[in-house]
Amino acid sequence: MSARILDGNAIATRLRLEVAARVRARRAEGLRNPGLTMVLVGDDPASALYVRHKRRDCAEVDFNSNVVTLDSDTPQQQLLDIVEALNSDPSVDGILVQLPLPPHIESAAVLERIVPDKDVDGYHPYNIGRLALRQPVLRSCTPKGIMQLLEHTGIPIRGLDATVVGASNHVGRPMGLELLLAGCTVTTAHKFTRRLEDHVRTADVLVVATGRPGLIGGDWVKLDAIVIDVGITRDAAGKLLGDVEFESAASRAAWITPVPGGVGPMTRVALLQNTLYAADHFHR
């Protein structure tokens, strides 16, 4: 393997220390600790695990965190009412509704009910629109975390060719906008894309976010590319797999993220950064 590993755990640890230092500075200024409230609907084990990880992160940086836990059959209107109450709560700087929601609840309606200055996931159309207009405020967490991974490489990405595989509202689309803002020439590949391999082979920066393990052959990767694998899927044996064939890709890339331990920790630290930003800029 020739690629250097983009260790999201190590980088996120350093960034959490920076967040914690700013929280201490806020207290010295007489300001309260930032507050994050998470809403968990249903008993999905993966969602519950993610929320536990986020609460642990909050404790590490001295955020005030709370979890509102609801049954899986909670009516949509009840959830909307809870979001409205959190919108009005001056102690809450960030609201996170953990996805996925049960099928009877329209996710878009719930996410759009969060006021934009508490949308610390960066999913609200207002915040995506600000990014599209090159005036970002609260940025989608996974793309924000990935941009910090790219910065860690020390490689100037302005002018590079970037390919994003996957066009979801939460990762692929805002990721393309982030790379465009950074000065890359961006291609977004999706389920209708023809000749996917050709688009991958030209990418100096490759971001893959499809949830389809092994979709991208390692031998497709351009020599000395930066490879960011967002996908994480558990196989029948319980092993976690990414969307990129890791070993063969690592023999060609300059930098590559592991799965797990690459993008995931950076997504969580971006959530902390967004919440701190909201506390500092919107809710002082």
Tokens representing residue 109 in the block? 């309606």
Tokens representing residue 213 in the block? 């393990």
pTM over 0.75: yes
| Cβ(274)–Cβ(139) below 8 Å | yes
Q: What is the 3-state secondary structure (H, E, C) of 34-91?
A: CEEEEEEECCCHHHHHHHHHHHHHHHHCCCEEEEEEECCCCCHHHHHHHHHHHHCCCC
3-class secondary-structure state, position 233: strand
DSSP string, 111-157: HHHS-GGG-TT--SHHHHHHHHTT--SSPPHHHHHHHHHHHHHT---
> pLDDT class for 284, splitting at 50, 70, 90?
confident
Strands 64-70 and 35-41: parallel
CA distance 128 to 107: 16
> pLDDT class for 1, splitting at 50, 70, 90?
low
What are the residues whose beta carbons fall under 8 Å from the beta carbon of 40, sequence distance 6 or more? 47, 48, 51, 67, 68, 69, 70, 98
Give me the pLDDT at residue 179, please.
Answer: 98
What confidence tens digit (pLDDT) does each residue in 124-172 have? 999 999 999 999 999 999 999 999 999 999 999 999 999 999 999 999 9
Is the link from the previous residue into 260 a cis peptide, with omega within 30 of 0? yes
| Residues belonging to the active site | 54, 98, 121
pLDDT at 223 over 80: yes
Tokens representing residue 142 in the block? 């996974």
pLDDT at 106 over 70: yes
